[in-house]
Amino acid sequence: MSIDWPALRAAATECARRAYAPYSGLRVGAAGQTSDGRIIVGCNVENASFGLTLCAECGLVSALHATEPPENGTALQAVAVVAGDGEPLLPCGRCRQLLLEAGGGNLLVDTADGPVELKVLLPAAFTTADLSERRERGAL
């Protein structure tokens, strides 16, 4: 399946307009394309207690799980994250980890220089394999 990067950026930019960012003023939107071709979006939601702020990617992953995926499972294939002006932003470390579980290391992330695989942006990631390995050794 081909990725329509301009459409993803446009969807992310539109979603950024709905962001709740009264403290930083930085509106962020994220749009992802699933393996079955759907476009899922999310925006940042700030909170007076800054640690409770939700990144746009958090909203995107939540929306992905809130929809009814096909029985064969759905994964994100591509993600564009933009500021309110439509310019690309890279996901923070926390969001890279969230995106890893939603799309895997081959998930394409839009950057100013073009798409990059998530495994390049998050090398030596903590995965479910790390948990399984420790369970088997009784280290949990």
57 catalytic per annotation: yes
Q: Name the 3-class secondary structure at 133.
A: helix
Contact at 8 Å (CB) between 102 and 79? no
Contact at 8 Å (CB) between 90 and 111? yes
* Residue among 14, 46, 57, 71 flagged as catalytic: 57
The token pair at 56 is 């746009």
CA angle 105, 97, 61 (to 5 degrees): 95
Rounded to whole angstroms, the Cα distance separating 79 from 60 reads: 9
Q: Give catalytic residues, as residue numbers.
A: 57
